[in-house]
Amino acid sequence: MERKPVAGNIRNKERSKKKFLDAVGKILKTKGYAALKVNDIAAVAGVDKKMIYTYFGGMDGLMDEYIRSRDYWSNVLTEGEMPEINDGGRLLTEAMLHQQYDYVAKNKELQKLLIWRLSEYRKSLTKMTNLQEENGEHLFKMIIEPHFGEKTQTYRAITAIIISGLYYLNMYSSVNGSVFCGIDLSTPEGRDEIKKAVSFLVDQTYENL
């Protein structure tokens, strides 16, 4: 019986934290990153702003947790979760690139974060970049390097171009237009063409590098 208040406090804390995280996302989607202020976040969340410091240690901590929860590459497979691979990561690479393309398209909040990252320096956004690199490095070290050896750097460069291109196409089609190089990215058919191109590039890389 004595544990009930403790369990209740934990649930209340988690609910309040979720309200703050949801409030950050709502403000990002409707007003943009410039509107992310403590008072505004607290007002949208309906929770005392002091709790931002209690639960997250301040705005930086809140943004760190928000970004980690939304970013695709910060939540990909880690070292202890790598599946058995016997094709040098070919199918895994293709699947992850397709998933990234779909994930960013559906996540308007992440699109705002990506634009924000290109617009100004912020510790939380730098941490997102570093975490992406750390998680990606597990994939390179455990699967890609053993397969490509001294050509790994070229593979890295090709992957960088594909990932950044997919980011750009998603942001482009959601802001200022849906047609790029004659392909309507707002249609399932157009998006499928992009995925086919990604598969082609991955296949060519594994066959010819």
Give the pLDDT score at 5. 55
Question: Is there a single domain that holds both residue 54 and residue 157?
Answer: no
Question: Is there a single domain that holds both residue 111 and residue 53?
Answer: no
Question: Is there a single domain that holds both residue 50 and residue 122?
Answer: no
Question: Is there a single domain that holds both residue 44 and residue 79?
Answer: no
What the block records as the tokens of 15 is 């609910």
Count of structural domains within the chain: 2
CA–CA distance, 175 with 178 (Å, rounded to integer): 8
Helices and strands in the chain: count of H runs, count of E runs: 10, 2
| Domain that includes residue 125, residue range | 73-208
Does this model's pTM top 0.85? My answer is no
Question: Is there a single domain that holds both residue 46 and residue 23?
Answer: yes
Question: Is there a single domain that holds both residue 17 and residue 79?
Answer: no
Q: Is residue 64 part of a domain?
A: no
Residues of the chain with pLDDT under 50: 1, 78-80
Question: Is there a single domain that holds both residue 146 and residue 172?
Answer: yes
Question: Is there a single domain that holds both residue 134 and residue 51?
Answer: no
Q: Is residue 67 part of a domain?
A: no
Q: Is residue 199 helix, strand or coil?
A: helix
Q: What is the CATH number of the domain that holds 18?
A: 1.10.10.60
Question: Is there a single domain that holds both residue 107 and residue 39?
Answer: no
Give the pLDDT score at 1. 45
Residues 179-205 pLDDT 10s? 999 999 999 999 999 999 999 999 999
Q: Is residue 87 helix, strand or coil?
A: coil
